[in-house]
Amino acid sequence: MNDGMRRHRKTYEHGAWIEDDRAQSTVLGPKIRSLRQRLALTLDETATRAGISTPFLSQIERGRARPSLATLVSIARVLGVEVQYLLDAPREERFVARGDHLTFFGFADADKRFARLTRITAGGRMEALLVRIPAGRKLDDITARAGEQFWYVLSGTVTLTLEGKTYVFREGDSAHYDSTDAHYWENTGEQEALLMWVGTPNLL
């Protein structure tokens, strides 16, 4: 294996290379670059501290690669900010989220997409998201946090397995339970499902 192939394989384990411009990547990359430069950190320094390669970090900043959640957490830690700071899209107002400003984002290790409905503030404990689940897919354990969760199904058919019991949800159905209860969601329909998630603490 030559050096180029070895480097590509190493970085791919931390995320995914992408060939098209996606909203989340085009917002995320410039934010990382701007903050890194304000802190007078080089690409090499930031990548080394985050445990990724310099070429991969460069691709993330240019919007040509999408990091995994774990990698994004590492980058945020190096830059001294919360993950929410890197993911938040600019808002016109402090307390209002306009529908035409919603941006769905995802991670290399999570094929669903999220759109934040609430603004994360210091000390904030509640968060609301729109969540897309592709047909035939499960919602992974990114939502398995201590606290409460409320789901409202906007479209599609999804199945909730909670404490060993299975419930089928369709448009207009909702669920409210403790996050510590054993559970997972699965899109059992033939089309993408769209849900609204409200919970504490913050999901991301």
**Cβ 68 vs Cβ 108: under 8 Å:** yes
Residue 23: give its domain's CATH number: 1.10.260.40
* pLDDT confidence tier of residue 18, bands split at 50, 70 and 90: very low
Q: Which tokens belong to 8?
A: 């590509």
DSSP string, 25-87: HHHHHHHHHHHHHHTT--HHHHHHHHTS-HHHHHHHHTTSEEE-HHHHHHHHHHHTS-HHHHH
CA distance 34 to 141: 31
Same domain as 67, residue 127: no
Q: List alpha helices for 65-192, DSSP H.
A: 69-79, 83-87
* pLDDT confidence tier of residue 117, bands split at 50, 70 and 90: confident
Same domain as 43, residue 76: yes
Same domain as 77, residue 143: no
Same domain as 125, residue 52: no
Q: Is the pLDDT of residue 108 over 70?
A: no
* pLDDT confidence tier of residue 145, bands split at 50, 70 and 90: low
The 3 state secondary structure assigned to 55-71 is HHHHHHHCCCEEECHHH
- Number of helices and strands in the chain (H, E): 6, 12
Q: Tens of pLDDT along 150-192?
A: 999 999 999 998 888 999 999 999 999 887 777 888 999 999 9
Q: Which domain holds residue 143?
A: 109-200
Q: Which residues have a Cβ under 8 Å from the Cβ of 44 and sit 6 or more positions away?
A: 54
Q: Tens of pLDDT along 23-60?
A: 444 578 888 998 899 899 999 999 999 999 999 999 99
Residue 159: give its domain's CATH number: 2.60.120.10
What is the structure's pLDDT at 168? 95
What is the structure's pLDDT at 203? 59
* pLDDT confidence tier of residue 89, bands split at 50, 70 and 90: low
Q: What is the mean pLDDT of the chain?
A: 76
Q: Is the pLDDT of residue 194 over 80?
A: yes
- 98 in any annotated domain: no
- 93 in any annotated domain: no
- 33 in any annotated domain: yes
Ranges of beta strands (E only) in 127-164 are 127-133, 138-139, 148-155, 158-162
pTM of the model: 0.54
Q: Which tokens belong to 189?
A: 């329909």
Same domain as 121, residue 83: no
